[in-house]
């Protein structure tokens, strides 16, 4: 693993500019968009700004998606949403080498700006890259490497930048948008759906969607800028700098939902034909695992600054009360009414979920049904035992 990391770093740090198309002559400002990668951190793509001047040798890529692994308490800060991201600056050749190594496409959109607008944007980026200005609190939906670039363009160009009418835009929520990129990452999609709360099911407007590099690229390609006598396209030229290498990308889709339905079938069959005491340790482990998930959901909700993890309705089925269920089974006291009430409540949650303002991952449904089934198994045993007890007393 270390050798692989070193190889990547070496190729990035020692790379020379390799352009499939020559950079624009003269002074230019371009939006750079990089295609998705296989790893989760790269699956949504990336954006940067390239400022280039062939006359002076100026060659800088401004990248808002970097952070420092040496930050004290790095992982704690990352989990709590308190990690500083930063604007970094490098040459285009060095920036490009990583994407060439990963087989990801890179496109350039040269912006149709006047010399004064280019100078103003360059000055803004240089000021933003100063140590006292370059750090910011990252937010995946509202303040990331792509939305920051949108904000740069809007700040520098002001009211001269005009987006097309949003009426023609396709309606989608934030969760639906990120789901488009996770077909090859079913476990990651499940984890993200479990971690993200109801705010992710808000509908994203035209401007909101620019948190994704693909949408930023398309929006800037459709945008216009005011000029004397009318409007002109913001992008003067689009070019493919690096094509995608299909040999380095796995495009096969997979699904894990069927596996959870098999798990539910197992719980259903054992609930009907196997005495619950023989499933004691299975149920203790199952309930404890769901209880641990509930703690994670609550920590992401109340102990972090992540806006997207608030109001997570998964807590309705993945609740801390499952620890109590595991305790009752462990101490041999399942006669408690807990299983009756908990199973009944979960059934209500499944039926009522269509009215809850949060999308439920399809893989969760068989898990919830499995919880209901195992609770029903214990309740059935309690009911049977009570009938025998009542009959003996009579």
* Confidence at residue 383, expressed as pLDDT on a 0 to 100 scale: 54
Q: Which of 218-227, 241-250, 268-277 has the lowest mean pLDDT?
A: 241-250
CATH of 2-169+205-248, one of 3.90.1720, 1.10.287, 3.30.70, 1.10.760: 3.90.1720
Record the tokens describing residue 26, joined without a space: 């003269």
Q: How far apart are CA 60 and CA 62, in angstroms?
A: 6
The residues facing 297 across adjacent strands are none
Is pLDDT of 232 > 60? yes
Per residue in 29-42, pLDDT (tens digit) is 999 999 998 887 78
pLDDT confidence of residue 394:
53
Per-residue pLDDT at 7: 38
Give per-residue pLDDT as tens, 168-187. Answer: 677 899 999 999 998 888 89
- Residue reference for tokens 């919830």: 368
- Which pLDDT score is estimated for 137? 86
Identify the band that residue 162 occupies on the pLDDT scale cut at 50, 70 and 90. Answer: very high
Task: State the helix-helix crossing angle for 280-302 and 321-330, rounded to 10 degrees.
Answer: 160
What percent of the chain lies above the pLDDT cut of 90? 61
What is the overall mean pLDDT for the chain? 85
Between CA 279 and CA 285, with CA 280 as vertex, the angle to 5 degrees is: 100
Does position 327 have pLDDT exceeding 90, yes or no?
A: yes
Q: What pLDDT is recorded for position 252? A: 46
pTM (2 d.p.): 0.83
Domain ranges of the chain: 2-169+205-248, 257-393
Dihedral of CA 192/194/196/201: which sign?
Answer: positive
Pairing of strands 27-34, 46-53: antiparallel
Least confident interval from 115-129, 239-253, 317-331: 239-253
pLDDT at 67: 75
Residue 13 has pLDDT above 70, yes or no: no
The predicted model gives 292-318 an average pLDDT of: 93
């Amino acid at each position: 693993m270390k050798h692989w990391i070193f190889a990547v770093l070496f190729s990035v740090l020692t790379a020379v500019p390799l352009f499939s198309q020559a950079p624009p002559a003269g002074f230019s400002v371009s939006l750079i968009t990089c295609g998705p990668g296989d790893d989760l951190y790269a699956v949504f793509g990336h954006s940067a700004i390239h400022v280039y001047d062939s006359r002076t040798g100026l060659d800088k890529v401004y990248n808002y998606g970097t952070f420092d692994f040496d930050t004290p308490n790095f992982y704690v800060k990352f989990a709590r949403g308190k990690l500083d991201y930063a604007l970094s600056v490098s040459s285009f050749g060095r920036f490009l080498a990583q994407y060439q190594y990963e087989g990801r496409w890179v496109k350039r959109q040269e912006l149709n700006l006047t010399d004064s607008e280019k100078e103003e944007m360059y000055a803004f980026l240089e000021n933003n890259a100063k140590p006292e200005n370059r750090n910011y609190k990252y937010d995946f939906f509202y303040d990331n490497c792509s939305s920051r670039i949108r904000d740069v363009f809007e700040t520098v160009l002001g009211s001269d930048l005009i987006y097309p009418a949003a009426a023609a835009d396709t309606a989608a929520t934030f969760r639906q948008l990120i789901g488009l990129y996770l077909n090859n990452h079913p476990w990651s999609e499940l984890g993200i759906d479990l971690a993200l709360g109801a705010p992710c099911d808000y509908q994203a407007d035209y401007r909101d969607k620019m948190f994704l590099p693909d949408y930023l690229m398309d929006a800037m390609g459709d945008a216009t800028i005011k000029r004397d006598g009318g409007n002109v396209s913001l992008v003067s030229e689009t070019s493919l700098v690096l094509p995608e290498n299909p040999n380095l990308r796995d495009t096969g889709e997979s699904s894990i939902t069927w596996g959870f339905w098999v798990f539910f079938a197992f719980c259903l069959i054992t609930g009907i034909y196997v005495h619950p005491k023989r499933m004691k340790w299975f149920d203790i482990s199952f309930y404890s695992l769901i209880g641990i998930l509930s703690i994670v959901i609550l920590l992401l909700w109340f102990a972090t600054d992540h806006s997207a993890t608030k109001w997570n309705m998964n807590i309705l089925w993945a609740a801390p009360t499952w620890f109590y269920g595991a305790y009752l089974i462990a101490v041999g006291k399942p006669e408690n009414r807990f299983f009756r009430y908990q199973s009944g409540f979960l059934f209500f949650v499944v039926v009522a979920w269509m009215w809850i303002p949060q999308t439920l991952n399809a893989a969760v449904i068989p898990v919830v049904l499995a919880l209901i089934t195992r609770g029903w198994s214990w309740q059935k045993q309690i009911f049977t035992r009570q009938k025998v007890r009542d009959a003996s007393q009579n």
